[in-house]
A and B are shown apart, each in its own frame.
Chain A
């Protein structure tokens, strides 16, 4: 079959008709989305996608992406929307199987940029081995959106015996972090604020399911997995402390912050503990398993800088505290107010 190119991906822009259900929408779907995401499920071409029976409990998660700017060092809204949702499923200890993608496009948005984003999504999905099996496109009038918003949903399956949950941290458990913090948020922000550094800040956006698979395969007693995205490490550990009704004590010296991220935070008056990550995870395990788990994590390319960053303690107030590099003690509180809008 020869493909007839009727959509102008070089100079064209999104028009209201691209979301109207008529021929131009069909063309956009065929020439862009179907071509890029190409897989047998999507090719069914029906209102819904028929999927084979899955063995095990299903996990499902959905996430909307509104990051600004759309393109940043290390990624773009496209791959971010694939990674973010896969990670949410992976944090349940599940194997991600299928993705859906819904686009809200703004009239006037450059089709060349849309294509770049869609191709980036397609590549991220292929790399992760998770096909995009269904999707939707809507167009809003100029001024009613901001280029493109993407909502993805991921379905995965979790094996029997794996029961990860934020409410399972117990007194004495160790808290591990898979690598440096603040990279994604500061990559986006430095792009937005036109800050440049000798060593550019690159987003850590990545799908973490193979790291999670390796951790689960190690046989350690994992209790909690969570990715510290919006609100950063501080917010995520507080969520877990609240859910498990425990306190925590972190060690500031063990938390890796890359120099350019630290410098950018310093410059903008931000605390890296509250900056979003898109390719990191927090793991909580039984104390006796920490050394083995750490070794397994460090053997994986996505967690070379993994470290034990603290431990779970009894605390009726569910406070997260931290021993500072100076040797003092401080709280690591919930984020107050909005720190950085539209980071993912």
Chain B
């Protein structure tokens, strides 16, 4: 497959890997956080950890939209579908997030709620057009990558005068989460920066992490060779005592990012005062809400579904895992009570979640046959 196989070439991978082995200094530990779930998934799926020396450790970050969504937010979505009888449109990943009372959106649907899986915000708009007598709510989640399509949908709904469409807005901001990680005190030596998020926001927003926190950041694509190359670039920076923002993903990311998408988001959304993240707690200026001009499309204003914070399951370590403080296998219920078939915490739900990735691809490492 053109433009894909080139980034999955085994020979090239081994060459970069031996470059990494040559570059690391034996007495040094390299703790690198891949912020994005997309990277977590690629690392696990291609077994990249096997190609790295023991003193290079990859720490999974919180960049998985499903993982950072707190239970209270899923409860709101379920309430909209169940009590308020709306057609709730959602991306597939959210369907299995455990919410209060043993419910998930999937179970709510089996119980009669009208929950529909969609691939695009355009599908949600079409459902609203096709059902003028029903209220249609789009469960909008995701980092900067999924925000522009939501903005487009809002603008379209507004232009068409679609009165029965609204969104439950959970769009969150990557730099805010990176700030939070750096202030929790997890020992980190550098970041593998997001791929798709950076195509939208550019590389510029990461400069503060290199500047103020002195942490090197290398933005990388989601292919395995991208990740290996980024690791090599980070190790070189660390060895040289440097901290700059480098861009490995030059085929898609510029310093400015996608200005058109940014402008669109700017028109429709504004920053919320604070937003609760699973694992990171309530963070100021870390998420978006609709501007007053578009208030009629805000499901939180349209329906009485106030956000109520709900604590995580007692034994679940998702919070510490999302902060990079613990590895999935350090959670007592990992792989026993909590599995992809029966997830207790959100990190076991999405394939980008640290627990699901480790369970599906890497758990053989903990046991010896």
Residue ranges of A at the interface with B (Cβ–Cβ < 8 Å): 247, 253, 259, 262-263, 266, 313-317, 319, 321, 323-331, 333, 336-337
Contacts and interface: CB of A to CB of B under 8 A. Distances in A.
A315 B369 contact: yes
Contacts of B332: none
Given A317-B364, A326-B8, A262 B46 contact: no
B30 interface: no
Contacts of B1: 259, 262-263, 266
B341 A325 contact: no
A318 to B, nearest CB: 10
Nearest to B340: A336
Contact of B14 (A247, A315, A327, A333): A327
Contacts of B4: 262-263, 266
Instruction: Identify whether the interface residues of B are mostly helix, strand, loop, or mixed.
Output: helix
B130 interface: no
A329 B51 CA distance: 9
Nearest to B359: A333
A337 B96 contact: yes
A330 B361 contact: yes
Interface residues of B, number: 29
Given A331-B364, A333-B361, 10 more contacts: A314-B369, A317-B369, A324-B46, A325-B46, A326-B13, A327-B47, A328-B50, A330-B362, A331-B360, A337-B341
B367 interface: yes
A253 B10 contact: yes
7 contacts: A315-B369, A324-B45, A326-B46, A328-B47, A331-B364, A333-B359, A333-B361
A261 to B, nearest CB: 10
B364 A326 contact: no
B49 interface: yes
Given A253-B10, A262-B1, A313 B47 contact: no
Given A263-B1, A337-B341, A331 B8 contact: no
B229 interface: no
Nearest to A257: B1
B311 to A, nearest CB: 26
Nearest to B42: A326
Contacts of B369: 247, 313-317, 319
B44 A330 contact: yes
Interface string B44-70: 111111110000000000000000000
Given A317-B369, A336-B360, A330 B10 contact: no
Given A319-B364, A331-B362, A337 B47 contact: no
B367 A317 contact: yes
Contacts of B46: 324-326, 328, 330
Interface string B345-369: 0000000000010011111100101
Contact of A326 (B51, B96, B360): B51
A329 B355 CA distance: 17
Contacts of B8: 325-326
Interface in B1-49: 1, 4, 8, 10, 13-14, 17, 44-49
Nearest to A262: B1
A55 B365 CA distance: 50
A234 B369 CA distance: 20
Given A247-B369, A315-B369, A316-B369, A327 B51 contact: yes
Contacts of B361: 330-331, 333
Enumerate the 4 nearest inter-chain pairs by beta-carbon distance, A residue then B residue, closest first: A328-B47, A336-B340, A328-B50, A315-B369
A326 B10 contact: yes
B224 interface: yes
Nearest to A322: B47
A313 B356 CA distance: 25
A16 to B, nearest CB: 28
Given A247-B369, A313-B369, A315-B369, A326 B224 contact: yes
Contacts of A314: 369
A336 B47 contact: no
Contacts of A263: 1, 4
